[in-house]
Structure 1
Amino acid sequence: MTSKGKVYLVGAGLGNVAYLTVRALQLLTQAEVLVYDALVDDQLLQLVPQNCLKLDVGKRGGKPSTPQAEINQLLVKYCQLGKQIVRLKSGDPFIFGRSAAEIDALIAPNCPFEVIPGISSALAAPLLAGIPLTDPTLSSCFAVFTAHEPEKLDWEALARLETLAILMGGKQLSAIVQQLLHYRRSPQTPVAIIKWAGTPKQQIWTSDLANIQIVTAGVSLSPVIIIVGEVVTLRERLNAKIEIKFPALDMLPDQLPLRGKTILITRSAGQSSQFSDRLATLGANVIEMPALEIGPPVSWEDLDRAIAHIADFDWLVLTSTNGVDYFFTRLATQGKDARVLAGVKIAVVGEKTAHSLEQHGLHPDFIPPSFIADALVEHFPEALLGKKVLFPRVETGGREVLVKEFTAKGADVVEVAAYESRCPQTISPDALKALQQQVVDVITFASSKTVKNFCQLLASHGGANLDSICIASIGPLTSKACQQQFGRVDIEAEEYTLEGLAQAIVQWPKH
C-alpha cells in the first residue's frame, strides 16, 4: 500500500536564499515534488534534490497561466501518490497567496498539509530600503493591499491612512496617484518604489505623488512595492546603515554553461534586468554597468502636437520599448488612451517592443522579420507613397537612415522627440573594479550608443586593459560601433535579440 504523502505550503520570502526560513530550506532539500510560482528566484530551484519533479505553475500577468483548479489537482494527485510536495510561493503563503483554495482542496480528500511562513515583501522591501513602516512621529499605522484591481478599493479610506504599502501596483501607478490626489492626499506626499527587493537587482525610486510618474517614466515597474507616506523621508538617514547580503549557492550544478564566467552588461539605467537574469540562470556572475540614462526630451511640444492630430496619420512606427513607454505615458497625460489609435496602423521593431505595446492592449500590424529598424522599409507591408507616418524617437543620435528611406519611398514622415538617452555621469564602482582588476570575461553591448558611452565612462575613470575580454554584440550596427572603438568583435548574435545574444555567448568556443 502506498504511504500517504504530505503537502508543505512554503513561503519563499523575497526569493533570495538569504531570506529563507530554516524550515523552508530544510523542506526544499528534501522535496520529491516542487510546485512553484513565477517570482520564485531560480537559485532556489537548485536547492531541491536532482531527481525532484519541478512544476512551474506561476501566474504571469497578461500571459497564459495555470488555472488554480489545476494546481489544486496537482497537489492532491502527488500527495495521494505518497510524495513529499513543496508548494513554493513568493513571500508569505497567507498574504495574497491563494492558499485557502489549495488548503480546501487538500482537506476534502484528507491530504496532510503544513503551512510554513515566509517573509512578505510588503514588510521586508521597505525595511531593506531603509524605510520604517511605523514611526512614533510620522506613522502610527500602515495598510498593506494589492492594487491589482484598483477599482475595488476604498480609496477615500486609504487616502486618510498615514502609510500605505502597495503590492502589484506597478502597472496601476497612474490610477493610484489619481485616486489618492482625488481624495485630497497632498501632492507633496513622499513616495518610494522598490523593485526586486532583497536581490542584487534591487532598485529604488523616490519622489512625491505629483512627480513619481515622471521619475519612473519608461521604466518597467514589475515586480515592485510602492510605499506612500512621510516615513519615506527617513530613508535618507537610515538607508546607509542597512546591509543586504546576497550569498551565492555553492551547489549550482557544474553543467551550467556559463558557470565561473563573469559577464559585464552595459544597459540603460532603470531598464529591465531580464537579460541579467537569463545569464545568471546559465551560471554566470553578472555585473551591471548602466551606460545609458533614459529620460524625457527637452520639450514635449512636437509629440503633443502629433498626439492632438493622431487621426491624421496612417502609421505609427515604434522602434524601441522606450519609444512605446514614453509615447503612451504622454498620451495619458493628454487625457487620452489607446482608443485614439483605432484608425492608425502600428509597426514595431523587435519582440520586446511588440511585448511592450501589448501591455497597452494593442498588437502591432507589422514586425519586420530581422528585428532591426533598417528592415522596416525593405519588408513594409504596403506602398508608402502618400502615407503619413508618425515616428516618436530618441531626441538625438537616432536612425537617420530609416527616415531617409521612408521619405525616399514617398512617405510623409513626422519625427518627434519622445525621449532622450544620455551618457551617465558616473560608472558603477563594482563594474570599474572588475574591469581594472581584469576579472571580466565578457562585455555585452545591445546598442551602438552603449559602446560609445562605455568607452567615454571608462576613459574618464582611468581606463582599463580590455585585450583579454570578449566583446559581445547584439547585431550589425552595434558590431560596427565595437569595431570602431575596440578594433574587434568576438561575438555577434545570429538573432538580434537579447536571448540571441545570450545563446551566442553560450556557444562561444573560448569559454
Structure 2
Amino acid sequence: MQIKGKVYFVGAGVGERAYLTLRAEELLSRAEVLVYDALVDPQLADLVPDECLKLYVGKRGGKVSTPQDKINQLLVAYCCQGKQVVRLKSGDPLVFGRSRGEIAALQRENCNFELIPGISSVLAAPLLAGIPLTDRELSSCFAVCSGHEIKQLNWQALAKIDTLVILMGTRSLPEIVTELIDQGKDAHEPVAIIRNCSQIGQEIFWGTLTDIVSKTRGISLSPAVIVIGKVVTLGDRINQTSLSSNHLPLANKTILVTRAAEQSSKFTTLLESQGATVREMPALVITAPSSWQDLDNAIANLPNFDWLILTSANGVKYFWSRLKDVRALAGVKIAVVGKKTAATLEQYNIQPDFIPPNFVADSLVETFPESLPGKKILFPRVENGGRAVLVKELTSKGASVIEVAAYESKCPEKIDIHVWNALQHQKIDIVTFASSKTVSNFCQLVEQELKGETSLNDVLQGVAIASIGPQTSKTCHELLGRVDIEAEIYTLEGLTKAISDSCTA
C-alpha cells in the first residue's frame, strides 16, 4: 500500500535558527524534500538530513524566479510519492506568503498538508528596532499592508490609523509618502525603515514622511520593513535601555564561527551563553571519500592491527558507517585525539583505550602507552592529507602506519551571503577557527569575493582572530599574519573562555 506523503507549510521566522519554532526545527530534522524561498536563511537548510532533496524556488524582484505553477506541481508530485515535504517560507507562511494557491493545488489532489506558524517580520522588525506597535498613549491600533500594487490600497483609511507596517514597500516609498500626505497624514510623522531584520547587517533608517525619501536615496533598502507612526520615536529609547542592561562578558560582541556545513555548532551555544551574537559560516563540506575500497579492505583485516587511531569526529562517523560488526574490533586498541572525538566514539558505546593529554595529536607519540616498534596501526583520516607529522613520528618510532581515506573535506563553493555582508560592513568583532582547514578555506572564500580589488587584511581590519590551539594558530600566522586569541585548553570550552577573558581584560 502506498504511504501517503504530507506537505508542511513551515514559517522560517525572520532569520537564523534562533528565531525558528521548536515544531519547525523538528520537521526540518526529518524532512525528505525541502522546498525553500529566497529570504530563508541558507543555514536553516543545514538542519535537514544529508539525504534530503533541497529545492530552491525563491522569488526576488527583477531576478529569474521559479513560476508559481511549477512550485505547485513540485509539492503535489512529491507528496503523491509519499514524501514528507517541508515548504519553508520566510516569516509566517500566511502573511504575504502566496500559500493559498499552493494549498489549493494540494487540495485538488487530496494531498495532506499542515500549517506551522512562524515569526513574521511584521512583528519582529519593529520589536528588534525597539519600536512598540501599540502604546497606551501613542498607538491604539496598527495595520499591515504590502507595498506591491499600492494603488489598490485605501489610503484614505490607512492615513487615519495610528501605526502602519508596510512590507515589500521600499521601491514604492516615494509614492507611499505622497499618498499618506495627500490623505492628511502629518508630514512630520516619524518613519523607520528596518533593513535585514534580525541579521548581523540589520540597519535602521530614521526619518519622517518629509525627509525619509531623501535620507535613503541611492541606498538599496530591500529586504526591509517600513514602520510609520508616532511610536517610532520610542525606538531609540528602548534600544538604549536594553543595551545597558546586559553585563555578560561577550555582550555586544558579534562572533563569526567557522565550521563544517553539516555540523550544528555546540560552540555557538557556548558563545551565546556568554552574551555573544553568533553568525555561523560553513567553511568545510564533509563528504564520503572518492573510494571506500581502502577503508573496507582495512576493516576486513582489523584483526591484523594492534591500534586504531581516530583524530576527528568525522573519522569516527565515517569509519563506523563502514564497520558492519563491532566484534571485529576485538583485540584492537583505540586511541583518540580530542574530547569531541572521544564523545563521538562514546555515541557508539565504545570507550577509547588512550587519549593523549592536551587533546592534541602532537602529544600522542610522546605519551603513547606502549612501545611502538613492531606495532601495526590503522589510521582512517581525511582523504586529501592531514596529520602528516603524526604519521611521520609514529613511523620514526618503529610503528607501521596504514593510512586510509575515511572521508573527504572540501571548501564550499561560495561564502554565505549574510556572512559576507557582515564582513563588508564591519559587523564582525571576532572570527574563530577550530582547525587549520577552516582557516585556509575561509581565506579562499573571502579572496574569491574580493577578486583582487582589496586585500584580506583590509576586510579583517579591527577583527580579532581566535584560534583553538597551536596547529591552527600556525596556519593563522601563515595566511592571516596574526593570532589575537589562543585557547590555553584546546577545546571549544577553552576557546570560549579565552575569548571571554580577552573581552573583559
TM-score (norm 1): 0.56
Show the counterpart of 2:407. Answer: 419
CA distance in 2, matches of 1:274, 1:456: 25
Q: Which residue of 1 is the match for residue 260 of structure 2? A: 268
- CA distance in 1: counterparts of 2:246 and 2:359, whole angstroms: 34
Aligned equivalent of 1:502, options 490, 496, 499: 496
CA distance in 2, matches of 1:486, 1:256: 29
Mean Cα deviation higher: 249-258 or 227-236: 227-236
1:22 aligned residue: none
Aligned to 2:51: 212
Which amino acid in structure 1 is aligned with residue 331 of structure 2? G
Q: Given the alignment of the two structures, is residue 280 of structure 1 paired with residue 272 of structure 2, yes or no?
A: yes
Q: CA deviation at 1:348?
A: 0.1
Retained in 2: the 8 A contact 1:338–1:360?
no
Shift of 1:466: 0.8
3-state SS of paired residue (1:212): coil
Kindly state the Cα deviation for residue 388 of structure 1 after the two structures are TM-superposed: 0.8
What do residues 84-108 of structure 1 show as CA deviations (whole Å, max 9, x unaligned)? xxxxxxx9xxxxxxxxxxxxxxxxx
Q: For residue 291 of structure 1, what is the amino acid of its counterpart?
A: A
Matched, 1:319 2:308: no
Which letter does structure 2 place at the counterpart of 1:407? T
* Matching residue's letter, 1:294: I
Displacement after TM superposition at 1:470 (Å): 0.4
Show structure 1 runs of 5+ residues with no match. Answer: 1-13, 19-40, 45-90, 92-118, 130-164, 168-189, 216-226
The partner residue of 2:295 within 296, 303, 311 is 303
* Deviation of the 1:212 alpha carbon: 3.0
2:420 aligns with one of 429, 432, 441: 432
Structure 2 Cα separation of the partners of residues 319 and 205 of structure 1: 25
Paired residue secondary structure (1:502): helix
Q: 1:275 to 1:205 in 2, by over 3 A?
A: closer
Pairwise CA distance, 1:338? 2.2
Would the aligned equivalents of 1:191 and 1:229 in 2 still touch at CA under 8 Å? no
Among all aligned residue pairs of Structure 1 and Structure 2, give the percentage whose two residues are the same amino acid.
Answer: 51
Instruction: Please report how far the alpha carbon of residue 239 of structure 1 lies from its aligned counterpart in structure 2 after TM superposition.
Output: 7.7
Shift of 1:284: 0.5
**2: distance between equivalents of 1:206 and 1:229?**
21
Contact 2:34 2:52 in 1 (8 A): no
Q: Contact conserved, 1:440 with 1:469, CA < 8 A, in 2?
A: yes
Cα offset for 1:256? 1.1
| Alpha-carbon distance in structure 2 between the residues aligned to 1:229 and 1:416 | 43
TM-score scaled by structure 2? 0.57
**In the alignment, structure 1 residue 487 sits paired with structure 2 residue 487:** no
Q: Against the structure 1 CA distance between its residues 395 and 240, is the aligned structure 2 distance closer, same or farther, given a 3 Å change threshold?
A: farther
Alignment pair present for 1:291 and 2:283: yes
SS at match of 1:434: helix
1:255 Cα deviation after fit:
2.0
Further displaced range: 341-350 or 250-259: 250-259
Encode CA deviations 1:25-60: one digit per residue, 9 max, x unaligned.
xxxxxxxxxxxxxxxx9x99xxxxxxxxxxxxxxxx
- SS of corresponding position for 2:381: strand
CA distance in 1, matches of 2:345, 2:80: 32
CA gap of 1:205–1:473, structure 2 versus 1, over 3 A, is: closer
Q: C-alpha displacement at 1:465, in angstroms?
A: 1.9
Is the Cα contact below 8 Å between 2:33 and 2:52 reproduced in 1? no
Relative to structure 1, the CA distance from residue 203 to residue 482 in structure 2 (aligned partners, 3 Å threshold; closer, same or farther) is same
The Cα RMSD (Å) is 3.8
Distance 1:214 1:392 in 2: 29
- Contact 1:262/1:286 (<8 A) preserved: yes
Whole-Å Cα distance in 2 between the matches of residues 410 and 492 of structure 1? 34
Q: Which residue of 1 aligns with 2:188?
A: none
The answer to whether structure 1 residue 410 and structure 2 residue 404 are counterparts is no
Rg (Cα) greater in structure:
2
Match of residue 213 from structure 2 = none
State the 1:330 CA deviation. Answer: 1.5
> Of the candidates 365, 379, 384, which is equivalent to residue 372 of structure 2?
384
Q: Could you tell me how far apart the structure 2 residues matched to 1:355 and 1:405 are? A: 26
Give yes or no for contact 1:493–1:500 (8 Å, CA) kept in 2. yes
Which aligned pairs between 1:158-169 and structure 2 lie closer than 5 A?
none
Please report how far the alpha carbon of residue 393 of structure 1 lies from its aligned counterpart in structure 2 after TM superposition.
0.2
Q: 1:508 to 1:200 in 2, by over 3 A?
A: farther
- Deviation of the 1:510 alpha carbon: 6.9
Report the CA distance between 1:449 and its aligned residue: 1.0
Kindly tell me: are residues 491 and 286 of structure 1, through their superposed partners in 2, closer, same or farther at Cα, counting changes over 3 Å? Answer: same
Q: What is the rounded CA distance, in whole Å, between the counterparts of 1:314 and 1:193 in structure 2? A: 48
